[in-house]
Structure 1
Amino acid sequence: MEFLQPVMLWGLLALALPVIIHFWYQNKGVTLDWAATRWLTGITNQQQRGLRPDELLLLLLRCLLVVFLVLLLSKPMADFLKLNQKKHIVHLVQPDSKLVSNFRFELEDALKKGEKVYWAAPSGSEAKDLSDLPKVAHSELYLQKNINRLSKPETELHLYVVNQNKLTNLPRFDVPQDFKLHALTDTIIEELPKVIGLNGKKMTVLIDYRDASESRTVEAALDALAEVYGISFAKDISFDPKTKYDWILTDQKITNYYAHTLYVISDNTISQVLPENVVQFPDSLLLRTSEIVQNGALPEWLGAAMISHLKLDIREIPLSRSQLETLFVRSKPLDRRSADQLYQYLLLLFMVTLLAERWIALKKTAARDYA
């Protein structure tokens, strides 16, 4: 059994209250002497000796009321309400010819067993014939939508995905149930991506910042970019009019403009109209002020600007098994049916216990008043 509000279980400490109140009232009373006291002393002592059964029952019922109230507030979820549910296997496949060809045996076997196979498409159509692949552009965009649609407590989801780098550009995929991940290749890839289009050319870069720490930050980002993409940079820290720069990174206004050069300006105070080859960063590139620098995303941001400006391409490197597993995460679902059913049972027990406690308490009070 699990609880959505486990902190409310501290309320079980309140079990001590009915016990304390019970024994408090056992000792409560004031002794008054009157003429016939000596004739009633023996009878009273005999009647009050020990705990009477109705008092023990009242104490037990009041303790149960506290327990049921705490359980109701803690919102329990119990798996025993769905133990008898049979798991049904459902397959969700990206409509890619290589992927389907690689897992054709498994998917055809699933269809023979009567298991459902669906395409990761906008409509989420069911696959009747594996040779009839729907034409879907960017099918990875429809994975989460179909995962949410097919996720049920009684199903086990099998995901067949193309392990491409474009998956990393999307938010992580939350799968609210048991699932198995099948990818085109499960080998560990150690090769780094390479930029296609430079043909071994060394890029000349000018790093011109008034703050030395900002210059060091940008230089470190370019070093990381060179290591990841295999690009060579020739870096200058002062402007040379004889040099034809491919890339200028600065926090100052452009005085020497070249149409072929990519400019990255990290100063949001510059309000001039900027050409297409000028990219303005929203703030400075200092570690203490820039969130993108603090998150370590500056090399990636600079690389995207460079690739877009030079119209380069990156050789596609398949994701490894470990990389894919970080993108698909098993999230804990809230099974509303089992939670609501258990809540109703607890509420019923609480009401029955409350009625029983009130009935016995009133009956005891009436008997004492008419005694």
Structure 2
Amino acid sequence: MQFLQPILLWGLLGISIPILIHLWRGKKGQVIHWAAMHWLATQDSSVAKGFRLENIFVLLLRILLLDLLVLLLSQVFIPSVSKVSEERIIHLVQPSNLITEEYKFELQQALEKGEEVYWADEHLTAIEGLDELNAEGMFLKLQSSLDKIADETTQLNLYLINSQNSLGSKNYLSKIKPTFFLGIADLANPAPQNISIEGGKKLEVNQNGVLDSIANDQNGPVSITIGKSDFAYYMGEISSSERLFIKASLEAIQDVYGFDFLEKERMEDANLVFDHELPIEKGGNKLYFISDAFSFSEQSNLITFSDQLDFDHSELVQTGKLPEVILERFLAYYGVEQQDVKLSQTQLEHRFLVDSPKSQSKRANLNVILLGLFLLCFAAERYFANQQGI
């Protein structure tokens, strides 16, 4: 037996109320007049105290009424009573021929069992047979497909390429804890990239994924140009403590890499926006950092944080990782590829947040029985209480 609202069990202390009332009435006594009472001498009259059997029965009924009411409010759940009549297993496959080839047998078994198999794309496209296991021209939209998963899903199997660049660096919101089937990817890290900053400064992302300065006359196979205007930022309706830590993070990036961030008074003049409110029109030429907003988006120019970016609320600020996160998102937005790495099972599990855990999706399954017993006891208590005049 489980209680979905266990804090309400403190209401069981209320059973002391009818007990105290009955004890008080028994101590006080009750004067009973009868026909020949006035013929008795005063010294022969006495007061009879104590409970009769009927009083004790009414007391037990009242205690039982309070118990049933508390159990009804605390939402009793018994797992053995609530059995799932039919499992609904869903297989969500990343659009990749590498994945379909590696897990072809598992997907074939799922289709033969009549289980649901979908591509993890924007429309949650269904896969009806093996001849449809061709991912050409399809793109991974993991959050969009997770949002379309049915609430009644009892098991979710995710087939993903074990690659940081393939999965992205965002967190994902799922209605149920997924089981992962990871494909073995050939991690082809990008060639060293040159970043040219307007004004002559050059940086390089080397094969180890480290951003470092290089000589101005050195050229690389890939060159990305970032203008001075791209470093202009705007701070919206955020707290003073958030402003302090965001500015400190930008200054830390500037001290290490020489990026000249400049604050603007109007959003129209900035390319980086720090705010609490999600923009109505998320312009493609701006990168938004939205704090204190629990949202999951596939847009590359929208970065959300579930907490406020200050020391009291954000783990990123407390651990000093906020500058690193801002720089990583900034460079990724302008096309700088990260070094590709494999993800562990624990890393993947931390990236998928469960929207409705099993414990929260339970529903009290004894409410009807408890309500029926409550009404029956209430009727019995009223009947015997009226019979005894108490």
Aligned to 1:139: 141
Aligned in 2, Cα 1:321/1:308: closer, same or farther, shift over 3 Å? Answer: same
Aligned to 2:276: none
Aligned in 2, Cα 1:63/1:308: closer, same or farther, shift over 3 Å? Answer: closer
1:121-156 per-residue CA deviation (whole Å, 9 max, x = no partner) reads 344343221331465323323232133x1544xx33
**Aligned residues of 2:77 and 2:366 also touching (Cα < 8 A):** yes
1:325-360 per-residue CA deviation (whole Å, 9 max, x = no partner) reads 212345424446x42x43233222222211111111
- Following TM superposition, the consecutive aligned residue runs of length 4 or more in structure 1 with deviations greater than 4 angstroms are 30-35, 37-42, 191-195, 203-206, 225-228, 246-251, 268-276, 279-282, 286-295, 306-309
Aligned to 2:370: 346
Query: Helix, strand or coil for the counterpart of 1:267?
Result: strand
**AA of the residue aligned to 2:193:** G
Alignment partner of 1:233 is 2:233:
no
Alignment partner of 1:317 is 2:341:
yes
1:49-101 per-residue CA deviation (whole Å, 9 max, x = no partner) reads x6433222211111111112222222333323223635453322223211111
Structure 1: 5+ residue stretches without partners: 207-221, 236-245, 252-260
**Aligned residues of 1:118 and 1:127 also touching (Cα < 8 A):** yes
Aligned to 2:350: 326
Q: Aligned partners of 1:290, 1:63: CA distance in 2, in Å?
A: 46
What is the CA-CA distance between 1:38 and the residue it aligns to?
Answer: 7.0
What is the CA-CA distance between 1:205 and the residue it aligns to?
Answer: 6.5
Query: Helix, strand or coil for the counterpart of 1:313?
Result: coil
Aligned to 1:356: 380
TM-score (norm 2): 0.62
Aligned to 2:159: 160
**AA of the residue aligned to 2:340:** E
Query: Helix, strand or coil for the counterpart of 1:81?
Result: coil
Query: Helix, strand or coil for the counterpart of 1:182?
Result: strand
Q: Aligned partners of 2:91, 2:377: CA distance in 1, in Å?
A: 48
Query: Helix, strand or coil for the counterpart of 1:360?
Result: helix
TM-score (norm 1): 0.65
Aligned to 2:182: 183
Higher helix share: 1
What is the CA-CA distance between 1:198 and the residue it aligns to?
Answer: 2.7
Q: Which has more radius of gyration?
A: 1
Q: Aligned partners of 1:116, 1:281: CA distance in 2, in Å?
A: 37
Aligned in 2, Cα 1:280/1:93: closer, same or farther, shift over 3 Å? Answer: closer
Structure 2: 5+ residue stretches without partners: 216-225, 233-246, 248-256, 273-285, 290-308
Query: Helix, strand or coil for the counterpart of 2:105?
Result: helix
Q: Share of identical aligned residues, percent?
A: 25
Alignment partner of 1:197 is 2:193:
yes
Aligned to 2:82: 82
**Count of residue correspondences:** 310
Aligned to 1:60: 60
**Aligned residues of 1:158 and 1:181 also touching (Cα < 8 A):** yes
Q: Aligned partners of 1:119, 1:15: CA distance in 2, in Å?
A: 57
**Bigger mean CA offset, 297-306 vs 162-171:** 162-171
**AA of the residue aligned to 2:170:** L
1:11-48 per-residue CA deviation (whole Å, 9 max, x = no partner) reads 11111111111111111137799542579859x85xx6
**AA of the residue aligned to 1:138:** L
Query: Helix, strand or coil for the counterpart of 1:131?
Result: helix
Q: Aligned partners of 1:76, 1:364: CA distance in 2, in Å?
A: 34
**Aligned residues of 1:92 and 1:158 also touching (Cα < 8 A):** yes
Query: Helix, strand or coil for the counterpart of 2:194?
Result: coil
**Aligned residues of 2:121 and 2:140 also touching (Cα < 8 A):** no
Aligned to 1:301: 326
